[in-house]
């Protein structure tokens, strides 16, 4: 049936016709899926590829490009022979019918399938369009809020959420009657996804290089020095409430303003007993969390002044310490530091029962640094510039992801 109101908020120029709205069963035919667990699949050289629901939920996007993505295999020819009538084709859609949350119903559309046999796997519902759709359109439409929101009231379960075939059959599908409009929508979002992937790879590549590089690699001109020879502890108390910024330390974000990062929820409104911290000074976090490396050390860069709980260790560079500040920032992001400080803390825990480092022990830690401050500066500057580039890619990535989310809401009925 046609409805003149069936038009999206945003569409490409030249298209004005109302979209078609049809019952699910008049658009799709359901195929058969297998029930093989992940353990029953093999990595290579099987009789047919298998699309597992877990990969749909966490790995695959709206379009599953089989020229790029690697799938596990079903090893048994006998098992595959039972699904000859349900071998997947380009344009078929596979829906994950089970998830731990409302991600159930997420799907992926098959693309660039050549002569390899592919079968829909455990906890999936394979769908075959009864008419030809432009590549990508169904994958993006069925994952958009416009369609997925209609599935939410149909979901069942508490610990595990699922959706049934009969529930899907009770839904409606909207699409442009013009194949060219479908094609432009599919092409647009695939190009947008390619751009997002590019920035994700850039972020990973730069981040891997900067975070994992072992800056403190020994050479002839490098030397081992105690931290206490280069810095001094700061125990400046904030007795006069000179700053209202309640700061906390984060391995990911550095020294951050809790008012900004935690929706105005702060650890304590009375910060009169906190350490007063000035821009350029460092703070050491004696604890950690599951998503952060142990023993984070961060420099205050965003603010001229702030306050920090006395549970942290605060220090500043000595005037005659012969150490570059940017080099220290880079050094404290390396694996050799995080693994080394954790080992020191673990050794101390054998004697004191706590995985921690006292201030006295912390300033006895040994760093391997270039003896020439100019070399330190070059290293620090290099990684500072690299971090800036990472941040630019991350911001671009976030912008693209927000744009995609917004357009998925506006370009579908």
Answer yes or no: same fold for 20-175 and 179-214+373-413.
Answer: no
The pLDDT of residue 66 is 96
Predicted pLDDT at 108: 98
Task: Please identify, in words, the CATH class of the domain defined by 20-175.
Answer: alpha beta
Tell me the three state secondary structure of residue 409.
Answer: helix
Tell me, what's the pLDDT at 2? Answer: 42
How far, in whole angstroms, is CA 149 from its chain's centroid?
23
pLDDT of res. 280: 95
CATH class assigned to 222-371: alpha beta
Sequence ranges of the domains in the chain: 20-175, 179-214+373-413, 222-371
Which secondary structure element, helix H or strand E, spans residue 388, and what is its range? helix 373-410
| pTM, rounded to two decimals | 0.65
What share of residues in the chain are helix, strand, coil (percent, to 5)? 35, 20, 40
Nearest in space to 211 (alpha carbons), one of 406, 386, 392: 386
What CATH number does domain 179-214+373-413 carry, 1.10.287, 2.60.120, 3.40.190, 3.40.50? 1.10.287
Taking each helix axis as running N to C, give the angle between helix 179-212 and helix 373-410, from 0 to 180 degrees, rounded to the nearest 10. Answer: 160
Q: How far apart are CA 404 and CA 140, in angstroms?
A: 11
Q: Is the CB of residue 255 less than 8 Å from the CB of residue 298?
A: yes
| Mean pLDDT per 10-residue interval, the chain, length 413 residues | 69 93 97 96 94 96 95 95 96 97 96 95 98 97 95 93 96 96 96 85 55 46 92 88 74 75 66 88 75 77 87 92 94 84 67 66 90 93 87 86 90 87
Strands (E), 227-317: 231-233, 247-250, 254-257, 275-278, 282-284, 297-299, 305-308, 313-317
Strands 63-65 and 107-111: parallel
| CA separation for the pair 110, 176 (Å, rounded) | 20
Residue 95 CA: distances (Å) to CA of 274, 317, 322, 373, 389? 53, 57, 61, 59, 38
CB 293 within 8 A of CB 250: no
């Amino acid at each position: 049936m046609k409805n003149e109101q069936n038009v999206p908020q945003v569409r490409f120029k030249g298209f004005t016709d109302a979209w078609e709205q049809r019952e699910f069963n008049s658009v799709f035919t359901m195929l058969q899926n297998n029930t093989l667990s992940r353990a029953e699949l093999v990595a290579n050289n099987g009789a047919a590829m298998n699309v597992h629901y877990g990969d749909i939920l966490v790995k695959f996007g709206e379009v599953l490009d089989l020229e790029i993505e690697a799938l596990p295999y079903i090893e048994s020819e006998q098992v595959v022979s039972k699904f000859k009538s349900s071998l997947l084709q380009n344009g078929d859609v596979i829906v994950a019918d089970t998830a731990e949350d409302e991600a159930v119903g997420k799907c992926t559309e098959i693309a660039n399938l050549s002569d390899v046999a592919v079968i829909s796997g455990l906890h999936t519902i394979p769908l075959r369009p009864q008419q030809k759709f432009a590549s990508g359109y169904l994958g993006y439409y069925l994952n958009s809020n416009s369609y997925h929101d209609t599935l939410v009231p149909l979901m069942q379960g508490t610990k595990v959420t699922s959706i049934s075939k009969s529930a899907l059959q009770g839904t409606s599908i909207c699409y442009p009657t013009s194949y060219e409009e479908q094609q432009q929508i599919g092409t647009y979002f695939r190009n947008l996804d390619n751009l997002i992937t590019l920035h994700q790879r850039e972020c990973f590549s730069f981040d891997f290089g900067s975070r994992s590089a072992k800056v403190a690699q020994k050479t002839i001109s490098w030397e081992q020095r105690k931290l206490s020879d280069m810095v001094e502890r700061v125990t400046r108390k904030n007795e006069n409430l000179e700053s209202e910024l309640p700061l906390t330390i984060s391995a990911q974000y550095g020294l951050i303003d809790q008012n900004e990062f935690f929706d105005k929820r702060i650890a304590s409104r009375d910060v009169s007993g906190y350490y007063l911290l000035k821009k350029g000074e460092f703070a050491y976090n004696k604890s950690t969390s599951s998503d952060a490396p142990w023993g984070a050390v961060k420099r205050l860069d965003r603010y001229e002044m702030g306050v920090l709980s006395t549970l942290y260790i605060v220090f500043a560079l000595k005037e005659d310490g012969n150490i570059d500040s940017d080099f220290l920032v880079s050094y404290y992001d390396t694996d050799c530091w995080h693994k080394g400080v954790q080992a020191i803390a673990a050794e101390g825990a054998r004697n004191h029962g706590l995985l921690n480092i006292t201030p006295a022990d912390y300033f006895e830690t040994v760093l391997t640094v270039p003896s020439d401050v100019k070399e330190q500066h070059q290293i620090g500057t290099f990684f500072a510039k690299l971090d800036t580039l990472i941040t630019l890619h991350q911001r671009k990535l976030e912008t693209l992801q927000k744009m995609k989310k917004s357009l998925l809401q506006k370009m579908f009925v």
